[in-house]
């Protein structure tokens, strides 16, 4: 059964680059049947889609975050990574990774438990 | 960008009630809409995809409908475990997978 597990530093300082990892077990991120994405949720607020990546390397980014984020795959470790540059307090959130199918009818059907990130000096 | 507007933002209901949550897209998205349930401190759970396609294991009291710009999630016979926050998401455009603002279903 597929499982996703996010990991991160917990605390980041303003202006730093935040690096997050999602380790996938029970399935391969190299499958051509799925996309892999990151979604975040600030405290007490709603969900914000950040980015999605396909096994081929094709990426899609939220236009509001595109200039500061990079999503990528490490197929040797079966991991999906996310980097957020120049973080501010507004980047404080729970960060989730999730899987979705490749068609428009598909949604994020499997999620990790999330990793909490606080940006503070 | 496609904007998704959910209403109401919160609703108070009793066990056994029927609850209807609406989601409106700023432009037509065919029936490419998903609904998620999120309990406090937990990750979202996919309930419905493609506007009305109930996911395996999701109780039949949940149903979705709509197409184009207007969609609804109906919970028929609210159960204690259904008190949670519900989000819609458009899945039509890979360039921007926008979520609605959420609807919190609270106990009356």
Q: How confident is the model at residue B93 (pLDDT cuts 50, 70, 90)?
A: confident
* Residue from B79, B76, B71 nearest B100 by CA: B71
Q: How confident is the model at residue B101 (pLDDT cuts 50, 70, 90)?
A: very high
* Residue from B48, B30, B29, B28 nearest B88 by CA: B48
CB–CB of A114 and B43 under 8 A? yes
Find how far residue B17's CA is from the centre of its chain. 17
Count Cβ–Cβ pairs < 8 Å, chain A vs chain B. 67
Residue A36 is given by DSSP the state E
Q: How confident is the model at residue B95 (pLDDT cuts 50, 70, 90)?
A: confident
CB–CB of A46 and B55 under 8 A? no
Candidate from B31, B46, B98 with C-beta closest to A49 = B98
**Residue B84 neighbours by CB distance under 10 Å:** 17
Q: Report how far residue B9's alpha carbon sits from residue B61's, in angstroms, rounded to the nearest whole number.
A: 21
Beta-sheet pairing, B103-107 with B10-13? parallel
Residue B14 has pLDDT above 90, yes or no: yes
Tens digits of residue pLDDT in B17-61:
999 999 999 999 999 999 999 999 999 999 999 999 999 999 999
- Counting residues of chain B whose pLDDT is more than 70, the rounded percentage is 100
Instruction: Give the CA diameter of chain B.
Output: 39
Looking at chain A, list the stretches that DSSP marks H as alpha helix, in order from N- to C-terminal side. Answer: none
Distance from CA of A9 to the nearest CA of B (A): 19
Looking at residues B84-92, what average pLDDT do you find?
Answer: 96
CB A37 within 8 A of CB A65: no
């Amino acid at each position: 059964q597929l499982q996703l597990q996010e990991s991160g530093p917990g605390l980041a300082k303003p202006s730093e680059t935040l690096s997050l990892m999602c380790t996938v077990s029970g399935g391969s991120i190299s499958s051509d049947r799925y996309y892999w994405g990151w979604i975040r949720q600030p405290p007490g607020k709603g969900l914000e889609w950040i980015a999605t990546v396909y096994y081929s390397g094709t990426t899609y980014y939220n236009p509001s975050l595109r200039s500061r984020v990079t999503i990528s795959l490490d197929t040797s470790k079966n991991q999906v990574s996310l980097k957020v540059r120049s973080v501010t307090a507004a980047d404080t959130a729970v960060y989730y990774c999730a899987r979705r199918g490749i068609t428009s009818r598909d949604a994020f059907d499997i999620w990790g438990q999330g990793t909490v990130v606080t940006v503070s000096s | 960008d496609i904007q998704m507007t959910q209403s109401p933002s919160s609703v108070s209901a009793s066990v056994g009630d029927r609850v209807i949550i609406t989601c409106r897209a700023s432009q037509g998205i065919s029936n490419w809409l998903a609904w998620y349930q999120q309990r406090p401190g937990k990750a979202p759970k996919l309930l419905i995809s493609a506007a009305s396609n109930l996911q395996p294991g999701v109780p039949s009291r949940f149903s979705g409908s709509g197409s184009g710009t207007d969609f609804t999630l109906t919970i028929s016979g609210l159960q204690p475990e259904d008190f949670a926050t519900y989000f819609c998401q458009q899945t039509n455009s890979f360039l921007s997978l926008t979520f609605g603002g959420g609807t919190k279903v609270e106990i009356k």
